Amino acid sequence: MRWLALVMMVGALGACAEVKPWQRGPLTHHSMDPNDKATQLAGEFNAHVFDVREGCKPGGGFAGGGCGCN
């Protein structure tokens, strides 16, 4: 068990990929910024869809019956 844990830990460390300084463009995209307005709006929209779908157990702060009309 200890061996398995050790191998998994080492494997996880080895999985790190180096991003070179000139390859960081995609990381600067606004979708990578949790404070970005568009990202937040998309998050709220997804939360609303989730709440409507799972109306019987609202977890995102919205009350609703799952009728899809809220």
For another protein, the binding residues (CB under 8 A) are: 6-7, 10-11, 13-18, 20-26, 28
Give dist(CA 34, CA 27) in Å, integer. Answer: 12
Contacts of 40 (CB under 8 A, 6+ apart): 34
The identity of residue 65, as a single letter, is G
Q: State which residue, 34 or 61, has the beta carbon closest to another protein.
A: 34
Q: State which residue, 6 or 49, has the beta carbon closest to another protein.
A: 6
Three-state SS at 23 = helix
Smallest gap from Cβ 32 to another protein, in A, equals: 11
Smallest gap from Cβ 40 to another protein, in A, equals: 21
